Amino acid sequence: MARKIDVQKLISYSDDLVQFLKTEKDINSLNHCIERSDGIRSRCRSDHAALQTSVQGYHKNIEMCKEKSQVAEAEVASDAEIHMLQKELDDEIQREALLVKDLR
């Protein structure tokens, strides 16, 4: 869709711009502002890229920690398993004690 341009507004804007940039000093000031804004834009982009890299690194570290946590949880015996194993050990110790007693 083509944009409709109001010629009168365009001429008025052009006249205002010419009035603003009448002297060399005004043009130099504008160029200086443009150069500074370009520098700021460049630094912002650089900072943004560095922050994106850091955030991605943190996400990777978080995922690695989650995986390590899941592996550790899988390796740790539950209280019920420990209780059952302790009971089996106690039973074996009791049987061994009975066998030793029978051998005497």
Structure confidence by residue, pLDDT tens digits, 4-46: 778 888 889 888 888 877 777 878 888 899 999 999 999 999 9
Position 37 in a domain: yes
Position 87 in a domain: no
* Closest by CA position to 91, among listed 79, 102, 83, 80: 83
Position 21 in a domain: yes
Range of the domain at 24: 7-76
Distance between CA atoms of residues 104 and 101, nearest Å = 5
Give the tens place of pLDDT for each residue, 35-90. 999 999 999 999 999 999 999 999 999 999 999 998 888 877 777 888 899 999 99
- Asked if residues 20 and 26 have their Cβ atoms less than 8 Å apart, the reply is yes
Structurally, the chain folds into a number of domains equal to 1
